[in-house]
Every structure is written in C-alpha cells, then in structure tokens.
Amino acid sequence: MLKKVENFIKEQGMLSPFDTVIIGVSGGADSICLLTCLHRLREQYHLNLYAVHVNHMLRGMEADEDEAFVRTMCNSLSIPLHCVREDVKRIAELSGTTIEEAGRNLRYLSFEQECERVKAHKIAVAHNRNDNAETVLFHLFRGTGLTGMTGIPKKRGQIIRPLLCVTRGEIETFLSHEHIFYRIDSTNLSNDYTRNKIRLSILPIATNEINERAIEHITSLSDQLLEVANYLEQVTAREFKRIATVSEAKVALDVREFSTFEDLIKREVLRKAIKSISGLKDIESIHLVDGVNLCKCQVGKEIHLPNHIIVKRGYNTIIVYDSQKYSDRNDMVKNDLLVDIPLTIKKEDSMKKGTVQFVDFLGKRFEIRLFPYENSLIIPKNSYTKWYDYDKIRDAVVLRTRREGDFLMIHPQGKTKSLKSLLVDQKIPREERDKIPLVACDSHVLWAVGVRSSEAYRIDKDTNWVLSVTTDR
C-alpha cells in the first residue's frame, strides 16, 4: 500500500523535495496511516513534518485520550505536534452552523494557522477512496450539479490528499500488518450523522450485495466527471469574459449573447456570475434554471436567491447583484450626488471676458456659459452642447439626477412627457437611470444628457441671453 501511495503522490505532483508539510492527525486509522506514510517518505523527499491535532471537546475523556495518543505517536516519530482545543458545539451555536460544519471549519483554520506559523508548503489531510465515494453519494442525494459529482479534490491550493488512491479497507489492513495502533471515534459508529448513514449502511449494501468494486466505480466516474467539469469551466470562463461586465457587487450579462448559448452554458455562466458576487452557498440547480428563464421575461422581472442575491432582467442585460451591497441610489446619496448643484453664473459675470462655470458631476465635466445672443451666431446641432433662452427660464437651473414628477416638453406647442416614460421608451435600463445627469429647473428637465433635450426655452429671434451647457463628448 505504501508503494501505491508513493506512486500516487508522484503522479499528482503532491510533494517536492524539501517541502514543509502540515499533517492533520485525529488519531483515527486514516490520519495515523497518513502520518506513517509521510514519515517513511521523509528521507526520500527531505520533508520537514509538523502535525496538528484538533480536540473538538465533544466526547469528554475519550477526546482527551485521543489527544494523548496522538501526542505519544508524534513523539515516537520525532514529529512536532500542535494541539488545538475548542468547544465546537458552542462555536456551532454561535455561528448558526451544524456541529459537523463548525468542526470542519475549525480544523482547516487550525491547519492554515499552523501552516502560516511554520511557513509550510503543503497541508496533508487523510481522505481516502471511501470518503470520496461517500461525498459523491451525499451530494447526489442532496441535489447537486456536475461539480458536486466530481468528489473530493486530490489537490487544492496547499491542501493535498495522498490517501485518495486507497480504500479504508486497505488502510486498516496496512496498519494491522505493520502493528500500528489507532483510535476509533465512537461518533463514527453512530447513525446520527448523514454521512455516517452512507458509510455504515448504504456503501456496505452496495459493496456486499451489488458490486464489490462499487467504491472503485464511483471513484472512476468522479474522475471522468472531473475532466468534463474542467473542460466546461474553460468554456464557461471564456464566454463569461466575453459577455460579462463585472463591478464590485454587480455582474451584467449581455442578454443577446447569453441567449445564444446552450442551456448548460447559460446555467454555468450564471453560476459563475453568482459565485463572483457572493459564493454558491445554498444555490441550487432550480435557482440557475429560474435565472436563465429571465431571458424570456419582460424587462424588470427579477428573482430573489439565497444570500441577498437578485437576478434581474434588464433591457439588454441579465443583472446579478447583492441587494445588501449594490444600490446606485444609495451610492449616490453616500457621495452627495443627489444634491442639487446650482448653475451660479450670472449676467454680470458674463460681461467679464472668459467667465465660465465648471462642474464635475457623475463622471462628466460640465461647462456653463452665459452670453448675449447675436443673430450671426450658429446654434450648435451636436449632442454635447445645448443652448437655451436664459430670459425665459423662471426657476433656478441645477444639475441633478431624476426625481418623481420630472418631465420634458417634447413639442414646441407645449406637449410634455414624463421623464420616466421617455426613459422606458428609450429602453434605458432601470439600474442606469439614476446615473443620467439632468439639467433642470424645478421638475422641468431641460436636458437629460445623452437622451433628449427639452423643446422649451429654444433660441429664437427675440432671444437676448443664451445659457450654454456643454459636457464631455
């Protein structure tokens, strides 16, 4: 068995010469086997080994005896040991997680902290083939996607799992032949935990009554699915990069390009968008299906997912965002962008040569001038300069963002239209509407920049003074 593990380590590139390795050691058969294997490979790889034991304080004297056993074992092998004692039950209660999850999080945190302390290169943990089969079945029964069926990774970052090539039976046989003792965790013999039910009931039935190579076949399938998942991830990453616009708490997917994808790629691209915002905790396949179906829905339709994630249909996008972090209007309030900015230039100022007011607003620079009108002047026709008859304007002119009741005059005869209706007709996405700078007097919008200018206050033969507003092209 040792040779099998050694070959597996070489094939997977798990160890390099002179690596410093942290070994997670509970005292059970798997971790004692891992400790023994790496100790016997120490000279070959010139390894610097450290062990970490986590006492979850769940089993009273039994847990203390486990800790003492591991300490004795490590001393006999001249491997330094760091022990962590934490009340996992209390941690679970405070964090709102299960005891299993709290224990797992504590173990990996302890491994990582010791890894940082001794500047280790690798963290070795003792998952075996049975653990992998249990994980695949657990994910299958609970409901999972392709990634969940790929099982336990052989390597991930600094973490390595050298025993994934052997079964629990092979491990116990090896320890028996080598006369190496180990501890038995009594909770592993209880059906109180879901994984234990798979370990103690389902897998034995599969191997004893259906096919003795059931675990091998599950492992083989998970390896094949891993290849498929890796290829799918490459395709997904390429398409995501092509159609996604990513900001701190929002991802916008081009809906036209998104709609051309096969449903599988749509779901994976959406999954990647959600993962980039908040991770995938509690995200299920049905959530992805519902999100993909927004392509066929009307603008403004949205679905609410776990962890405050909202997926919404825009005019030209599918938008994924964290509702607790992303809000255009909240951001604008925070940055004082909803405060009216008055255009303060006056006639008396305009008589001074070169007088101009500059205003930076919503990422644009505005240039405001006031000057006497002459018939010889040519009224600009471009989209970035607007002229208005200053004397016809009765209210103060300001720069601001939209408000309820805003309107524009859309016909010289006085016909008006609400700004909201205009933005809807122009298919401006709702999430973009608060970003449009407005030149306004009271509720009358003179210019929705980049959208439309009002027909009011037009320059004519009776105009005396011109208010000119110019922004970036």
27 among annotated binding-site residues: yes
| % of the chain exceeding 90 in pLDDT | 43
Is 28 annotated as a binding-site member?
yes
Q: Residues 60-96, buried b or exposed e (16+ Cβ, 10 A)?
A: eeebeebbebbbebbeeeebebbbbebebeebbeeee
103 is known to lie in a ligand binding site: no
Residue 456 known to bind ligand: no
Residue 116 has pLDDT above 50, yes or no: yes
Across 218-228, average pLDDT = 91
Predicted pLDDT of residue 350:
54
Least confident of 94-108, 224-238, 314-328, 437-451: 314-328
Q: What is the 3-state secondary structure (H, E, C) of 307-355?
A: CCEEEEECCCEEEEEECCCCCHHHHHHHCCCCCCEECCCCHHHHCCCCC
Q: Is 29 annotated as a binding residue?
A: yes
Is residue 425 part of an annotated ligand binding site?
A: no
Ordered by where they begin, the domains of the chain are: 2-218 (3.40.50.620), 247-323 (3.30.465.60), 341-470 (no CATH)
* Structure-token pair, residue 92: 């679970």
Nearest to 127 by CA among 52, 23, 217: 23
Q: What is the pLDDT of residues 299-311, one digit of tens each?
A: 778 888 888 888 9
pLDDT at 157 over 70: yes
At 200, the pLDDT band (50, 70, 90 cuts) reads confident
Residue 335: the pLDDT is 44
Q: pLDDT tens for residues 21-39?
A: 999 999 999 999 999 999 9
Average pLDDT over every residue of 120-125: 95
Q: Per-residue pLDDT tens for 456-473? A: 888 988 899 989 999 976
User: Contacts for 275-278 with beta carbons within 8 Å, 24 or more apart?
Assistant: 276/246, 276/251, 277/249, 277/250, 277/251, 277/309, 277/320, 277/321, 277/322, 278/307, 278/308, 278/309, 278/322
